[in-house]
Amino acid sequence: MKLLRILLCFPLIAAFAAPAQTAAPQQVFGFRDFTQQARWDAAFMAVPDAKLAGEHLKILTAAPHWASSPEDYKTALYVAAKFKAAGLETSIVPYKVLLNKPVSILVEAFDANGKKLMSGPAAEHVDPNKFGGDSFQNDRRILPAFNGFSPSGDVTAPVVYANYGTLADFKKLASLGVSVKGKIVLVRYGANFRGVKVYIAQQYGAKGVLIYSDPADDGYYRGDPYPKGPYHPASAVQRGSVQFLPIYPGDPETPGIASTPELPDSQRTKRPVDLPSIPSNPLSYRDAAPILKALDGPDSPHGWQGALPFTYHLGGTSTVTVHMRLQQNYARRTIWDVIGTVDGTDPVQKEDWVIAGNHRDAWVYGAVDPSSGTAAMLETVHGVGDLLKRGWRPKRRIVFASWDAEEEGLIGSTEWAEQHSAHLKNAVAYFNTDVGVSGPNFNAAAVPSLKQFVREVTTQVPSPKGGTVYDEWKKASEAEAGESGKKAGHETSVSIDNLGSGSDYTPLFQHMGVPSTDIGSDGPYGVYHSTFDDYNWFIKFGDPTFAYEQQQARVFGLEILHMADADVLPYDYQLYGKEILRYIQAAQRHAARANLKIDFDACLAAAQRFTAAGAGIHQVQANPPADASLLNNQLRGAEEAFLNPAGLPHRPWYKHTIYAPGEYTGYEAVVIPGVNEAIEANDAARAQAQLAILADCLNRAAAILESAANAK
């Protein structure tokens, strides 16, 4: 889940459409002459339409469309029709994957005398007579609140409150003498991925896990709850998968291979290692409150107190007992990716794919997550279709992807990436959007080689607030940094996050090594993965005039157009090298604090070599040879050099040596993960071995760039 900011509402002008007031840059990195591209950019930006984006969103959110459902297939047909109308070569690609569907979900709590404290999960409901209500909540097709990939189970046990369920939280409980072995653990959302909460609880011997949203993190403590305001109402439940995403995503039965419909059973694993063995289920804070209130035992440690109006205790006694009876129907179900392509025209580079994607499935209606991204992508496709009608053709092949079953574990994108693994060695970029719009604050994450590329694109796109997207992004960044940031000498350009996990760039980037970005536009958004993430919420609080949908379609589109037609791939390996060098120096300090004797010299030397090679190749990119095809191949090869075929320790599916989701965080990126996780585990021998692997990757990447620079 992305970090959210409390934002003021800005008046929007529905007529925001023409980008003419934004001057096209005279020179753009990667282009010898930007004149013609600027004309195509202007023609493209005039096409994405706010009203049409709103129509897409309304249609896509008309019904709950959980992956593999008939309603999900209906959205696939809608997206495919829009792809075809734009002139894309379009196909609906099925996969047969393992999914669970809830049959019966019961969670009930009792006090020491057997009195029932609660029984749920209760229905998600807001008063229809207050603040406009919400008619979407009554659809009978809404599934009970459940966790994707929770096993069935019937367990009864005392309850222990474990704060956010981080590794540090479980260690704190152990230090206080509170055991979770044989208990049901109650944790709140936040700080790490929900699947990691279950992963750690299972390691500590828990019998089951309940996950709720505390109003301190996602509710009235932050602002007015829905439908009066945008925040989490008391009855809302955050659904979500508890697959062990940091081990591997995708179909649990087919790690590393595509789960095509014809795949024989003999090639499917019967014992997936990325699935929990203990049951779990999400709760609203309305349902969690009676359990928390009745707990006894020690007061919770400092920082563990949420916003419910009583003191939180750790429990662990028999004062409160919870009974979980979960019946799940596990089956191989069909999901549908929608793929649309535009062939490239360059004789050499036409097979160098530029991929752009967004997932389509939702836990319920998914107005923000993911349909706001789908609506923006469809308007990007609309603009590309208009260029095709004008005679434009890209140098490189463009692939648009509408992924399915992302919510269960990035399944559609992972299976497609595994199916096309050989060709993805030629893919030059993957551009992702997921939570496309929940408010007016633009944000981005990217591999360092594409961070400046994203900044440059946003300087061309007008913002509904006035100025450019980059201008407004920078103002927000400076306001967040404040005076302390200025005094500390922080960079004046906007900061861009690193890629962790939790969306569809993971298989493309961290498994296949395709340079990637992820963009969105954030605001106060408290209905994540609940029934209330619907069209009604969106037009009240997300983007009432769909102006930010239009903005995001333009940014997404310019990313695609520029990468598809650049003379030289606009990767910035100079910045990449500087960031890697900082990561290694930080790891060195971390090891020193842990009193681990590790030799960093060879790895630091390799990072310095790579940084120097990045500076050298940057000059070549600015003045490229007439035939840049070999240079482009070498630029792409440098990113691939960061892949370790053996993968990370304990989780070999993840190949990237610079970025991965943390084993104990899930969403958040861990940099140089093999090294840092070994240091965190106090394993000097493993850290030294991982440093050697990292040094080899850096030297290999540096050698590729040095060869390219010398070839000019």
Taking Cα atoms as reference points, which of 275, 279, 277 lies closest to residue 325?
Answer: 279
Strand 441-446 and strand 516-522: the pairing is: antiparallel
Query: Among all chains, which residue has been given the structure tokens 């459902």?
Result: 69
Q: How far apart are CA 309 and CA 533, in angstroms?
A: 26
Q: Are 377 and 402 in contact (CB under 8 A)?
A: yes
Show Cβ contacts of residue 426 under 8 Å, excluding neighbours closer than 6 positions. 351, 352, 353, 636
Q: How far apart are CA 427 and CA 515, in angstroms?
A: 8
Query: Among all chains, which residue has been given the structure tokens 């996602």?
Result: 218
Q: What is the DSSP letter of 465?
A: T
DSSP per-residue string spanning 56-68:
HHHHHTSS---TT
As to burial, measured by CB atoms within 10 angstroms (0-12 exposed, 13-18 middle, 19+ buried), residue 139 is middle
DSSP per-residue string spanning 489-522:
T--SSPP-BPP-SSSTHHIIIIIT---EEEEEEE
Query: Among all chains, which residue has been given the structure tokens 């390691």?
Result: 203
Q: Are 287 and 122 in contact (CB under 8 A)?
A: yes
Strand 240-241 and strand 147-148: the pairing is: parallel
CB atoms near residue 604 (< 10 Å): 17
Q: How far apart are CA 539 and CA 237, in angstroms?
A: 21
Show Cβ contacts of residue 221 under 8 Å, excluding neighbours closer than 6 positions. 215, 307
Q: How far apart are CA 666 and CA 514, in angstroms?
A: 20
H helices, E strands: number in the chain: 20, 16
CB atoms near residue 431 (< 10 Å): 28
Residue type, 627: D
DSSP per-residue string spanning 430-443:
EEEEEEEESSSEEE
Taking Cα atoms as reference points, which of 315, 332, 572, 275 lies closest to residue 450?
Answer: 572
Coil, strand, or helix at residue 283?
strand
Half-sphere exposure of 366 (CA within 13 A, CB side): 33
406 is a catalytic site residue: yes
Q: Exactly one of 379, 406, 640, 677 is catalytic; which is it?
A: 406
Taking Cα atoms as reference points, which of 288, 292, 303 lies closest to residue 166?
Answer: 303
∠ CA 355-360-365 to the nearest 5 degrees? 155
Residue type, 555: V
Residue 431, phi then psi, degrees to nearest 5? -110, 125
Kindly list the distances between the CA atom of residue 685 and the CA atoms of 587, 595, 602, 691, in Å, as whole numbers in the listed order: 15, 13, 15, 10
Residue 502, phi then psi, degrees to nearest 5? 105, 0
Q: How far apart are CA 77 and CA 70, in angstroms?
A: 11
Taking Cα atoms as reference points, which of 455, 449, 472, 454 lies closest to residue 642?
Answer: 449
- What is the longest distance spanned by two Cα atoms in the chain? 83
Q: How far apart are CA 337 and CA 705, in angstroms?
A: 36
Q: Are 608 and 574 in contact (CB under 8 A)?
A: no
Residue 544, phi then psi, degrees to nearest 5? -55, -35
Q: Are 151 and 98 in contact (CB under 8 A)?
A: no
Distance in angstroms between the alpha carbons of the first and the last residue of the chain: 45
Residues recognised as catalytic: 406
